[in-house]
Amino acid sequence: MLINVEMLTEGTDLPNVQTVFLTRPTTSTILMTQMIGRALRGQKAGGTEKAYVVSFIDKWEDKINWVNPAKLDARHTEPRGDDFSYNNNLTAKLISIEMIEEFARIMDESIDTTAIILPHFLKRIPLGIYRFSILEPSEEYEPKSITYSVLLYDDTEEAYGNFVIDLEVIFQGINLQEREILTVKELEYLLQTAKQIYFPDYQTLLGYRDEDVTNILRFYAQKQIPPEFLPFSEKRKCDLSIIAKYIYDNSLGGKALFEYIELLWNDGQTFWQILFNDKRYFMNQLNIEINKLAGIYQDVVISIPTVILDTVPIEKLTLYEIKERDIVEYRKIKNAVFVKHTDAKGFITCATSGVKSQMRGDFQIDHIKPMSQGGLTTIDNLQLLTRKAHVEKTRRENTKL
């Protein structure tokens, strides 16, 4: 019998080991593979025919987050078709917490909430959420699993998307070895690197928080995989400004207004009850949107978004319109374009300058034939340009005009 603490992991060869007792929690698939690998040499490598792996959890009721040894190959899973309804409802419930906190600030007369209520309502509804768990130290012996959510808005989705995909490259300078926890110095270095490359205008981004970026970095250090993304594909159904415009244009009031609001609130096909939880919050925000139309907020520029019908072919939409209509499809197109421009060594190449980089954050997607000239949003008409090359191309096109 051998007993060890963080010693017999990577590089240890004990082919005769048949049974492994796991007495520490871990969310790292790499560490879990190393630990159970002590007993998985097999007969061809001088090991045993059978292996026994036993996991110990002192307090099962606390639901300590372990990597399941039986699912080590399921590291990257795409949501099934029947998962989208669940994901949308889960995302909406998580958003509702943010909404309640927001309305609490709006109703606090001691706080200037102008910056909160002036933006278009739909801009404050996330496109989706990164959802993940991190093992946190606790006063007891075993660490506890804490779940975090990072909400992605329209103006942060691209930055977070590139940041998450580039995590492996970002961590190249960090020697984790068997560690799962970053030092304070390492975490601060990675945070500042991410802000410089992916969030240079973080001060003006809706919903950006250093804490969110830091937690994603901590998660990757433990798991070595990107966090799961839950898309909120039904975002377009949550635009209160359209409802407010209908009420305002039709001068609804009294009983007619009451009946209309009751119909909206109790409609099982909408997310209003999930998002707002309490009808008072729903009414409060609806009144704010109506007051915007009435001119109460003089600094607000009213802009009802154009409704893009689902019958419009997706290739005739801009990438921004595709993202607004279907975030999942947008991400598929974006990933396909990057795959097309990435070589076997993981280097991405600019289509015009030939500049190479391993980081997605260095590139922008561009239409080869502009949509103004009949170009479509298809993989063969999309290319990657560095930010500098994109600016130069735009300048040349504007000069021709």
**Can you tell me the distance from the alpha carbon of 32 to that of 67, in angstroms, rounded to the nearest whole number?**
7
pLDDT digits (tens, 9 = 90+) for 100-128: 666 666 656 666 666 666 667 777 788 88
Alpha carbon of residue 70 to chain centroid: 26
Phi/psi region, residue 364 (left: phi>0; alpha: psi -120 to 50; beta: rest), is beta
pLDDT digits (tens, 9 = 90+) for 200-246: 988 888 778 899 999 999 999 988 889 988 888 777 777 888 888 88
pTM above 0.75, yes or no: no
- Count of CB atoms situated within 10 Å of the CB of 242: 16
In the chain, what is the greatest distance between 2 CA atoms, to the nearest angstrom?
83
pLDDT digits (tens, 9 = 90+) for 293-328: 888 876 666 665 555 666 788 899 999 888 878 888
pLDDT digits (tens, 9 = 90+) for 65-105: 455 455 444 333 344 444 545 566 777 777 776 666 666 66
**Can you tell me the distance from the alpha carbon of 44 to that of 132, in angstroms, rounded to the nearest whole number?**
38
Q: Residue 63: pLDDT above 50?
A: no
Q: What are the boundaries of each domain within the chain?
A: 19-71, 92-119+236-305, 126-231, 314-400
More confident call, 58 vs 286: 286
Among the residue ranges 140-149, 227-236, 324-333, 355-364, the one predicted with the least confidence is 140-149
**Can you tell me the distance from the alpha carbon of 349 to that of 394, in angstroms, rounded to the nearest whole number?**
19
**Can you tell me the distance from the alpha carbon of 356 to that of 288, in angstroms, rounded to the nearest whole number?**
49
Average pLDDT over residues 238-264: 89
Which band of pLDDT confidence, cut at 50, 70 and 90, is reported for residue 147?
Answer: confident
**Predicted local confidence at residue 82, as pLDDT:** 46
**Predicted local confidence at residue 55, as pLDDT:** 81
Among the residue ranges 61-70, 170-179, 286-295, the one predicted with the least confidence is 61-70
Q: What percent of the chain has pLDDT over 70?
A: 78
Contact yes or no for 268/274 (Cβ under 8 A): no
Q: Both tokens of residue 226?
A: 């990107």
Which band of pLDDT confidence, cut at 50, 70 and 90, is reported for residue 188?
Answer: very high
Which band of pLDDT confidence, cut at 50, 70 and 90, is reported for residue 28?
Answer: low
**Can you tell me the distance from the alpha carbon of 61 to that of 71, in angstroms, rounded to the nearest whole number?**
22
What are the DSSP E strand ranges found in 56-111?
Answer: none
Q: Residue 3: pLDDT above 80?
A: yes
